Structure 1
């Protein structure tokens, strides 16, 4: 009965169609979250407006079958934010991709679900595959999305914004491990521990692989996994009554391993790039941001002839070497 009343209020008082940007950062349903791992985490309840900014990035082949590849978040009526590595090995044209908004189940259809095609894909010009430097991408949709209670934009914090203590942070996605462990195709959510970059980059954690363009969250049983790439990391700002998207899911060493948190592309770091790329005036920072690390950018990827219709998640070379290091340290402890 309480849930029904909430849904009625949302229907009566929720924003009208076409008001994308008027409301952002709609909240995850915190009351439904538990301490379970995101690998088999809790379902996102349909019809509640939770995770209203999230979208499923899918590709198709004949016969018409869709495959969830990555997540993404709506940041304006016609632009989606996701991860660049989701598209680095794509072998089919953009016309065979689709973005699905407003659904909590991958099989969900109906008037509350919006489907758009990709008009243009813009990967960060300094994206480096395998190392996953600058792992962000923007997708321009073929036509604007009609926003409503279950489809809204994500809130991106400016580069100089001083965010409050990050105690209530959450991730969501339809990742492979999540779906397989739950046995269903329902969007999963979990509360994760935010890990500051200094600790995340220490020798016992990710040992020098973290840069200013990264943020870390989730470890030791709570984390994102394969198939969650491109999706959001959000943290609650109780003062503003909003959830800020602090990260775009990028990479990780395994899933939910101790001292191996998930790594995200920082939305604060890429804030100006995001808005400039969309053709909008970026916000001038009030403080000087930290200098970017020095590295050599790889050339833009060359799309070869199709060998398979969709890219599938694969282990990164970096992940292999870190895991190898863990094994060697374990063996060393056993021998000595």
Structure 2
């Protein structure tokens, strides 16, 4: 389901193109109207690669996702699909919009997926309706208690054997204590990351889920970021509340760029 990038402490696997939710179930169609499916194409001198990631709509013109999804060498093109349930059907509910530009956090580091967040500016505003809506973000440093049950949805792989799904899946995961992730993940940072997972080790996000939201109490508190190779527990999510000031600063910059030039600047 969600493009959860599974990364071990020794091996960092790109979640771009990564999988689907393990141990989850199909969602009621169009019950998560904030979900975005990112079709990503990377072209360099020798080849063209195509993969997908998750994301979520926070304003009619803006989508949040994981930085590692678009941090690639070569020419990157991103098409955002909103209002989808079966991603391989041409559903009338779907809106396909090119990403005009995107801003990766300036302190993003692929090693350890530190500051793993990107804000994408859509070429045209999404039409808000029953199938496409925004999701709220937490306030700056608004916390989520250990033990809180949260939900992740996406179109990622549904098993370690790389089983695929065309429809959106969901899984319920629990917020874990940071002490569980700190010794297992290099460069784990409690302020900017969340430790999440299912202690039974039966449920998880996986490849293709990266960039999707961890929804707690109806807010997008996390972004699918990384996990250890061939381990589905625990997982690391980007902590959205830590980046709230940066997000709003970028949204303000997006808005200013849309204003017509004043006579004095022409």
TM norm. shorter chain > 0.5: yes
Match of 2:258 in 1: none
Greater fraction of residues in helix: 1
Match of 2:259 in 1: none
Aligned mates of 2:245, 2:72 — CA distance in 1: 27
Q: 1:188 aligns with which of 160, 169, 184?
A: 169
After superposition, what is the alpha-carbon deviation per residue over 1:244-275, rounded to whole angstroms, capped at 9, x for unaligned?
11101111113553xx3111110100011001
Match of 1:267 in 2: 240
Greater fraction of residues in strand: 2
Match of 1:83 in 2: 66
Deviation at 1:99, TM superposition (A): 0.4
Residue 178 of structure 1 contacts residue 188 of structure 1 at CA under 8 Å; is this kept in 2? no
Q: Structure 2 matches for 1:181-220, cutoff 5 A? A: 183-201=164-182, 205-206=184-185, 209-219=188-198, 220=201
Q: Which runs of 5+ in 1 are unaligned?
A: 1-36, 237-242, 281-336
Provide TM-score, normalisation by structure 1: 0.61
After superposition, what is the alpha-carbon deviation per residue over 1:202-243, rounded to whole angstroms, capped at 9, x for unaligned?
xx654763431000111422211111110010112xxxxxx1
Rg larger in 1 or in 2? 1
CA 1:250/1:137 → structure 2, altered by over 3 Å: closer, same or farther? same
Give the aligned length.
Answer: 229
Q: 1:121 aligns with which of 92, 99, 102?
A: 102
Q: Structure 2 matches for 1:1-336, cutoff 5 A? A: 38-46=21-29, 49-59=30-40, 67-94=50-77, 97-161=78-142, 163=144, 167-177=148-158, 183-201=164-182, 205-206=184-185, 209-219=188-198, 220-236=201-217, 243-254=218-229, 257=232, 260-279=233-252
Deviation at 1:166, TM superposition (A): 5.2
Query: Aligned-pair RMSD on alpha carbons?
Result: 2.9
Name the structure, 1 or 2, with higher relative contact order (CA <8 Å, separation 6+).
2
After superposition, what is the alpha-carbon deviation per residue over 1:88-131, rounded to whole angstroms, capped at 9, x for unaligned?
1253343xx21000101111323311110011111001111122
Provide TM-score, normalisation by structure 2: 0.76
Residue 103 of structure 2 contacts residue 118 of structure 2 at CA under 8 Å; is this kept in 1? yes
Deviation at 1:141, TM superposition (A): 0.3
Q: Which runs of 5+ in 2 are unaligned?
A: 1-19, 44-48, 254-266
After superposition, what is the alpha-carbon deviation per residue over 1:306-335, rounded to whole angstroms, capped at 9, x for unaligned?
xxxxxxxxxxxxxxxxxxxxxxxxxxxxxx
Aligned mates of 2:238, 2:54 — CA distance in 1: 14
Residue 147 of structure 2 contacts residue 176 of structure 2 at CA under 8 Å; is this kept in 1? no
Residue 215 of structure 2 contacts residue 221 of structure 2 at CA under 8 Å; is this kept in 1? yes
